[in-house]
Structures are given as C-alpha cells and as structure tokens.
Amino acid sequence: MTENIPIVNGTSLYTVRTYSSKDYESTIDFYLTLFQLNKDSSANNATFLSNDSNTVSIKIVFEGEDPVKQAKCDETYQDLLSIRDTKDWRTSTKESFVLNTSNIKTFLDILLARYPDLKFQGYPSDLFPMELYTLDPNGNLVGVSNTKNAISTKPTGPPTSAGNTNNVAKFTDNKLSSIGSASNLISKHQSLTSDVFPYLPLSSTGDDSSRKAIAVMTSGGDAPGMNSNVRAIVRTALFRGCRAYAVMEGYTGLVEGGPEYIKQMSWDDVRDWSSQGGTNIGTARCKEFRTREGRLLGALHLIEAGVDALIVCGGDGSLTGADLFRHEWPSLIKELLDTNRITSSQYKTYQHLNICGTVGSIDNDMATTDATIGAYSSLDRICTAIDYIESTAFSHSRAFVVEVMGRNCGWLALMAGIATSADYILIPEKPASSRDWQDQMCDIVAKHRNRGKRTTIVIVAEGAISADLTPIKAEDVKEVLVDRLHLDTRVTILGHVQRGGTPVAFDRILATLQGVEAVDAVLESTPQTPSPLIAINENQIHRKSLVESVKLTKDVAAAIQAKDFKKAMSLRDTEFIEHLNNFMAINSADHNKPNLPHDKRLRLAIVNIGAPAGGMNSAVYSMATYCMSQGHKPYAIYNGWTGLTRHESVRSLNWLDMIGWQSRGGSEIGTNRTTPEEADIGMIAYYFQKYQFDGLIIVGGFEAFVSLHQLERARDNYPAFRIPMVLIPATLSNNVPGSEYSLGSDTALNSLMEYCDVIKQSASSTRDRAFVVEVQGGNSGYLASLTSMAVGAQVSYVPEEGISLEQLQQDIKTMREYFELSKGRNRFGRLILKSINASKVFTAEHLSDVITEEAEGEFDCKGAVPGHVQQGELPSPIDRTRGTRLAIRAVNFIENNQDVIAEARSDNYCYDPDDIALHATASVLGIKGSHVVLTSINQLYDFEAEISKRMPKFIHWTKTRIIADHLVGRKKL
C-alpha cells in the first residue's frame, strides 16, 4: 500500500507500507539497490532512504504482522505479473512512483545486471523505452522516465552539472536533481563498472604490488582460440585493476619459474592475438609437475611472482593438475614456510590460490559444456578437407576413408559426418563387433551406390574401436571397401592440419567470453568456492564445477575401457546423443523400411523465405531425408510464395537429387522476400488444400517471421492453414524474434571476419592507416558487434546506438592517441565497423573522409565495402549441423501437434481465434539462453517484435558489445 505527498513537478516523499517482516526487509533492499539510495535512519519500524542531495526520500514502514493485508499485497503482485505480456501495467494500477533519468539505457543495464529475472515493461517499446516500469516486492508500480514530465514525449537532456566530467548518466527525480555523483554511482556498482561504464584507464594508479595478480597458462595440446582466451584474460585483468601474468610453456613454466617463464603482461603485449592460431605463450607436457616436488616449485615461483590466482586453458589432464595444485596449496606453502623458502609475510599473504579452468581442446571431450575452445575450428578444417575430397571422389567415382582426431571422443567424426553427408562414421562411443560394423557399413554404402551415388566418404575417429576394444584404423576400413565392394578406395589422414590455422569466429568469441568470465570468477571466488570451469550451453556462458566436469569426462573413457558403451553414451551430453540419432536417421533416408505406420505418415512442405543464408540447404536436406526415414512425404515449395502462386512450384524431394546439398551455400530451392499477402494468400491456401499438406516448415529471416504470422492469422478464413507450422530462423542479421541464433549468421561472421583480417593486414602494413568496413544486417547490430569482438575492431557503430558526433569525436581522439603512441610499430592497423543503417548520413566513404580530416595527420582512413560477400560461400559447420538439428526438431513438432490440430481441420469446426492451444501450433523454433525453445508466433509478433524496425524488442548481444569495447580500450560516452 502506498501514500504519495505530491508537489509541483514531482514527488518529495514516497511512503511504502509493509505487513510482514520479510517483506519489510526485501522492500528496503529493493529500493536501496534500484535507485542507489542511502539508508538515513531506522526507528520505530520505519526506515528512511534518500539520495545524496536529499531531493528524493522514501520511507519504508512496517505496520506489524498482518497476514490479511500481506496476502492482498501478494495477490496484487502476482496479478500484475500474470498480465505483464498482455496488458499495460499503468492502466491496471491506481498509482505509481516515477523518477526521471537522463539515460534510461544505463538504468536498464543496472537493473538487468542486478536482477536478471526481474520482469519489466518499457514504453513505447522495450527496445527503445522512454519509460520503464517494474514491481517492488509489495506489488507497487515503480518506474523511471527520460521525459521531462509524465505526459511529455521529449527526452531530458544530459546532465549539465559541473561535476559530471565523465559524461556518466545520473539518475534524477522529477525536479531534475541529481541522485548521486558519478563517482558514488561507480563505487556502489563496483562489480558492474565494466558493464555499465566500459572505460579503460590508459595508465594504472596506486601501488602496483598492492593490486591482485592473475596469471594465465595454456597447457596440453594447442587449440585455435587459445590466443583469444589469453588476450581476453590479460586485458580483462588489467581492466579490473589487477596485474596480469602469463605462465610460458605450460606447467614447465611453473616449475622453472623466474620472469622468463612467469612474465608480467601489458595491454599491448596481446595486441592482435585473436586472429592467430596455436598459443603464443607456449604449451608443453611436464612430467616434473606430476610430482609433489614439481608442484612445490610451482607454488614457490607463483609466490615469488606475487600471483594470487591462476587460470588454466587446457584439456581434462591440464585441469586435473590445476585442481590438484589448488587442493595441495595449503600444505605446499606450509612446507615452503617450514623450510624457510618463503617468509611468514608471504605465507600470510598467499594463504589461498584461486583456480579457474577454460577448456581448450579440439576434441570437444569435456563433459558439462557443449563446445570447447578450438573444436569448431578443427571441425571447419575437417569439413573443408572433405569438401575438397568430395570433388575428386566424384570425378573418379572413388571411395575415401578420412581419419580425424578425437582421442576417446567421436564428436569431430560425428559432426563432420552430418556436415558433409558422409556415408558412414566410426566412433568410440558406439562400437560394434568386427563383423557387425563391416556388414553395416557395406550395406549402407552399397545402397547409396545402387541408387546412383558416385562418391563414398567414410569418416574414422582416431579412437574408433570394435566392441572387443580392437582399434579400427583407416587402412582396415579401406580393405573392407576394396575386398567386399570392389571400390577404388583412398585413405586420407588429416593429422595436425586439424589443429592449425586461425580460429573461426565462434572460437574467437567463445574464448573471449570465457576469458572475461574466468577473470570475474577468480575475483569473486573465496577459499571455500570450488574451482570453477567456464562452460557454454547452447548460447549461454555458465560456471560449472571443474572437479565434477573432469570426473564425468574421465568416466566416459573408463566406461569405454570397461566395455560399458551404454554408460559411455549416457555420460555424453544430450546434444551429442541427439546428433548421433539425427545422423543415423538422415543417413538411412528412403533406403530402409519407414519407422512410422501408414496412418501416421504425413505430407510436409518446406519453403525458404528472405535472403539466402548458410544452412538453408542443410535444413531442407535434413528435413527431407528425415521425413523419408519416418515415412512422410517431403515437398519443396520452390522460389518462395511467388513461385507457388505464379507457377505452382511444388515438387516432391528425391534423395539422389539432394546429394551434396549439406555442403552448398545459398538456397537450392530458391528464395525471395515476398510475403503471403503480397503474393496472394488465397492462392496459397488453394495449393495447400490441393496438395493436402499436413505441416509446413518455413526457413528464413524476418519476412519468414511475418509470413508465419500472416498464415496463422488467416486460419479463420482458410482452413488449409490449420496445420502445424514452424519457422526455423535463417538470416545473417540474426534479427528474428524468439531466437538468439539464426542459420547463416555464423557463416556470415566467418566471411566478414576473414575479410576484416585481410583488410587489417593491409592497414598494419601501411602502419598509419585505419579502415571503415561497412557491415550488412539492416537494423540489427548483431553482425557488426560479434565481428568486432572476433577481429578486435577499435570501434563498431550499430543502428541500436547510431553515430553521435560526440562519440565519433571521442573515437577519433582515442585512435589519434593510439597512432601517436605506436610510432610506426608493426601490426598496428585499426578497424572501424559500421552497420549500414547505423547512420543515414555517414556512408563508409563519408565516415572515412571525416576521420581522415579530423586525424590531424596522425593517420588516414579508407572505406571498404564487402557487400554480399558477407552472405558467405560454403556454409560453416555450425550452420550445417544446427540446420540439421533444427530441421529434425521442426518435423518432430509437426508430428507431435497433429492431434492438437485435428479438430480444427474438420469441416464443422467453429474456429476460435483466441484458442491458446491452436496458437501454439504455429511457432518459432529458436535458441534462447541455454535452451532450444518453441514460442507461438502470436506471442512473439504481438509482444516481442518491433515490426516497423524488423527487430526483436529484446537485444541479447548488448553485453557482447560492452565486452568488445572494453577489450580494445574504447571510451564510451
């Protein structure tokens, strides 16, 4: 219950009444945190909160325990939460408490950082809000506005007080008075400083020895992306005010010690490391560290260097050693003290060693994480090699046996098998007897050959075994193919080429995000905190238990050695098992008896809508072949909705005609941007009815999103659309609501990254040059933001932020200072990424001219426009394999919703447009956080989409931009 005492143009006192002690405490904490207030006093069951200038005061009153009134408050809170997505809170409450802020974006960043699950409403939209509302624990509506008053639509200007020298946003009440100085706000959000105020000081202050020291080490086999991980750790440590060290040559560096092996790192030491393969700080396997004496020397040398925390990037063996090192640390330093090798002061200072692990391994064999640093780069090398091999195999109608790395894990072989449509794979997790695997392989290859396929590709993991643990080598497979099928067969062992080369975009970004999280993890760790391992699940970075992750990983190898292959498979993550089942399903296509009985078999259509995107062909191929294995009849609608309405371009899909589609870019069935209403929705309904489609899969971008909504909305008039319909997002812009990932975005990232690497090399060679690269993406800054992180661009301008003259001036000033300090050093080229729609005035050429003019002769700037090169050529392995995964999920969705939609398809059904169950049969299949989710098109279109801007309301890559900025030292205004 609230009580307001209004004054002109604002509220001087706001009183909140609570009716339980628990609610009283949580309400105090809420307002302290949300508005950054101070607790003035507490007396007689009342607490007074105010800002530094005493212009805003809040009184929290505890009226005593009153269950009836408390229940009413709780009911109000839950009622408002339940209508959050359907009704405006402002129309559902009698009163609200609103303060003004000059920068609502900064306020939202703080709000989400402290309360990531807190519900809020933004007006006029969540994407570009001028007002932002949330609920306090008592059910009261609380908000901030950047308008001058409650009915104005004109935002307030930035604070102009003399104390605001850093251009940091200040929160103000309705009288536009300051809630706190910039320095106070920063001190109260010390843990959020980098997220809210991305600024890197050019010089350190204070006693260097008093600052926390964080060391990073790479160990075990090298993996592409390790350098990105080291760069992120070093620069984030410096950004957080710590000293940064690199332990050279892995654990050998700990044993050897000294400044040669435990080297203090500066900001500039890791410049341009993201684009380099391998590990620049070296790695080695160290027998000495496996002994206690070796670990004792490691402890001594870390203490001598003054290191407080150690981050290890490596595989399970390296991380096991790291955790053992931490476990023994108390006894190690006690022994060092007892033998007078360290002083009592050092013993007291270095009582604890915090350890964190980031997984660098091309094998992708670590449990609890979907991907390890380097795995997708290695997979990219394998797929590229097999694509090349496929060409020569086709020419001679040959068979090729390709051996890939992976040790005890068959992930590389499995994913390569899916991405290249290999005929057969041999992996350690699913062995068979020598006779069984030979019979099975020959049966599948013979069926493929009999149906007209000219090539045969068999992929063998280096750890492949038969059921009796006998190793299966590439030569063994070759002999079987030659002896039993009489195929002209060659063997290719890819070897260490799989480890080499520059990392792909995914590994650069993954390694960077994990490096930043690792530094945060060790800074937040206590002596009681278990050693964390930084993992990724779907699209979300997580901290997992290092000990538990390593144990599960070792359990897989132990289960295989014990011939308990069922257990070994169960210990792999569910995504691995899903991929294996997918491979077997699409590989059988129409060669075996269908899985489903006749009454369950469906007629399914697939159509591509929007611009071409990598992975579209993979989705079509996988959908069709999976349908064949189930017994469904797959159809393709060629050339989008216009192809259907003008030419009745519906064709059933044939397995032989689709051979090689997995590896092809673009769209083999054609695509365009026309929506159903533009093409003639009535004619589309006619053809749907003519072909009696039981389900529809749409693959495409924002036009596909609009198409699904139009078809769902037309169900009332056209019963032909009362079928399950699902959208698989596919667009390089990654702007489809309901998903944080779209097919084609990874291919586009890689293409743009490679282009930028070449441009940056040119800029570095000239020594005093920067390039402005124009990036596609429409109103979405995803491609520019992620590429900026992958290539280490100095600046990226995106439509969500625009290009302000003040920020442009600051960016030019920063670059001018950098070039002045560089003094012509090597590898000092600078990149500026600009989304096409970031500015209607500045093209790449215009922007480069302005920068050159303002650079005062320190450097010049050129424009570069990659254009449609950004759509990519061959789809990346990520887009290929995710295309397969999402396509099969889409078919399953259509199968599972046949009963739900059955009644609505009957002739005498009275269509109910508000039926929630029917709405759910038209959904978007996307990835949100750590989950693959289905969300109804109605929910997304009405509440989560900015249709006029062709954008989702919720921008998931904002934090990525902040991290990219602080890793290059960009100063944001």
pLDDT in tens, 656-670: 999 999 999 999 999
157 is in an annotated binding site: no
Residue 612 tokens read as 């071409």
| 318 and 386 together in one domain | no
Q: Write the pLDDT tens digit of every residue in 199-209.
A: 343 333 345 55
Query: What mean pLDDT comes out for the span 879-891?
Result: 97
Residue 966 lies in a domain: no
Q: What is the mean pLDDT of residues 889-894?
A: 97
User: Is 337 annotated to bind ligand?
Assistant: no
User: Catalytic positions, please?
Assistant: 363
Q: Look up residue 266 and give its two tokens.
A: 């500066």
- 825 labeled binding residue: no
- Kindly tell me if the per-residue pLDDT of 877 is higher than 90: yes
The pLDDT, as a whole number, for residue 110 is: 67
C-alpha 603, offset from chain centre? 35
> Taking 90 as the threshold, does the pLDDT of residue 971 lie above it?
no
Tell me: do 215 and 363 sit in the same domain. Answer: yes
Q: Could you report the per-residue pLDDT of 435-444, keeping only the tens digit for each?
A: 899 999 999 9
Q: Is there a domain that residue 583 lies in?
A: no
What domain range is 317 assigned to?
A: 208-371+504-553
pLDDT beyond 50 at 493: yes
Q: 315 among the known binding-site residues?
A: yes
517 annotated ligand binder: no
Residues 450 and 397 in one domain: yes
108 and 55 fall within a common domain: yes
Q: From CA 455, how far away is CA 481, in angstroms rounded?
A: 13
Assess if residue 98 is contained within a domain.
yes
pLDDT band (50, 70, 90) for residue 734: very high
Does residue 342 sit in the same domain as residue 291? yes
Domain containing residue 416: CATH number: 3.40.50.460
Is 129's pLDDT higher than 60?
A: yes
Please state, in angstroms and as integers, the Cα–Cα distance from residue 934 to each residue in 206, 610, 737, 894, 931, following that order. Answer: 52, 21, 11, 12, 10
Token output for 708: 């699904």
Query: CB–CB of 333/299 below 8 Å?
Result: yes
Tokens matching residue 596 = 């489903």
Q: What is the CATH number of the domain that holds 898?
A: 3.40.50.450
Q: Residue 210: its pLDDT value, please? A: 64
Q: Is 318 annotated as a binding residue?
A: yes
Amino acid at residue number 619: A
Q: Going edge to edge, which strands form the sheet with 456-461?
A: 424-426, 456-461, 399-404, 489-493
- Does residue 92 surpass a pLDDT of 60? yes
In this predicted structure, the answer to whether residue 56 has a pLDDT above a threshold of 90 is no
Angstrom distance (rounded) from CA 671 to CA 608: 5
Q: Based on the domain organization, do 387 and 352 belong to the same domain?
A: no
Q: Does the structure show a pLDDT above 70 at 53?
A: no
For residues 881 and 865, state if they share a domain: no
Helix axes 411-420, 375-396, angle to 10 degrees: 50
Q: With bands split at pLDDT 50, 70 and 90, how would you rate the model's confidence at 168?
A: very low
Where among 196, 227, 243 does a domain terminate? 196
Domain-embedded: residue 376:
no
Length of the chain counted residue by residue:
973
Percentage of the chain beyond pLDDT 70 is 89
Whether omega for the bond prior to residue 913 falls within 30 degrees of 0, making it cis, is no
Establish if 259 belongs to a structural domain. yes
* Domain co-membership, 609 together with 671: yes
Q: Are residues 441 and 477 in the same domain?
A: yes
47 is in an annotated binding site: no
Model's pTM, two decimal places?
A: 0.81
Using 50, 70 and 90 to split pLDDT, how confident is the model at 91? Answer: confident
Residue 153 has pLDDT above 90, yes or no: no
Residue 842 C-alpha from the chain's centroid: 30
Question: Is residue 733 marked as binding?
Answer: yes
Count how many Cα atoms sit within 13 Å of the Cα of residue 434 in the half-sphere of its side chain.
9
Q: Is 868 annotated as a binding residue?
A: yes
Residue 497 annotated in ligand binding: yes
Cα distance between residue 613 and residue 746, in whole Å: 10
Same domain, 508 and 419: no
Give the distance from CA 92 to its chain's centroid: 37
What average pLDDT score do residues 894-907 get?
88
Query: For 621-742, where are the E strands, in sequence order?
Result: 633-637, 650-652, 695-700, 725-729
Q: Which residues contact 501 (CB under 8 A, 6 or more apart)?
A: 224, 277, 377, 381
Q: What local confidence, expressed as pLDDT, does residue 766 receive?
A: 77
What order do you get walking across the sheet with 540-545 strand by strand?
Answer: 262-265, 243-247, 213-218, 309-314, 354-359, 532-537, 540-545
- 312, β-bridge pairs: 217, 357
**Average pLDDT rounded to a whole number, residues 846-858:** 92
870 is annotated as contributing to ligand binding = yes
Is residue 731 part of an annotated ligand binding site? Answer: yes
Q: What is the mean pLDDT of residues 906-924?
A: 86
Same domain, 615 and 488: no
Please tell me the distance from the alpha carbon of residue 624 to that of residue 590, in angstroms, as a whole number.
Answer: 10
Least confident of 148-157, 621-630, 766-775: 148-157
- The residue out of 135, 164, 196 marking a domain boundary is 196
Task: Confirm or deny that 490 is annotated as ligand binding.
Answer: yes
Kind of pairing between the strands at 489-493 and 532-537: unpaired
Q: Per the domain annotation, does 571 fall within a domain?
A: no
Q: Does the annotation place 950 within a ligand binding site? A: yes
Please indicate if the annotation marks 312 as binding a ligand: no
221 annotated as a binding-site residue: yes
How does residue 127 score in pLDDT terms, banded at 50, 70 and 90? low
pLDDT score, position 384 = 95
Segment 29-41 shows an average pLDDT of 80
How confident is the prediction for the chain on average, in pLDDT? 87
Q: Are 228 and 507 in contact (CB under 8 A)?
A: yes
What average pLDDT does this structure show over 860-881? 92
Domain total of the chain: 5
Q: How many CB atoms lie within 10 A of CB 819?
A: 21
The reply to whether 871 sits in an annotated binding site is yes
**Whether residue 233 sits in one domain with residue 120:** no
Residue that finishes a domain, picked among 871, 887, 906: 871
User: Is 561 annotated as contributing to ligand binding?
Assistant: no
Mean pLDDT over residues 100-114, rounded?
Answer: 70
Residue 5 counted as an annotated binding residue: no
883, part of any domain: yes
* 331 marked among binding-site residues: no
Residue at 169 is within a domain: yes
> Using one digit for the tens of pLDDT, what is the confidence trace for 431-487?
988 889 999 999 999 999 999 999 999 999 999 999 999 999 999 999 999 999 999
pLDDT tens digits for 381-403?
999 999 999 999 999 999 999 99
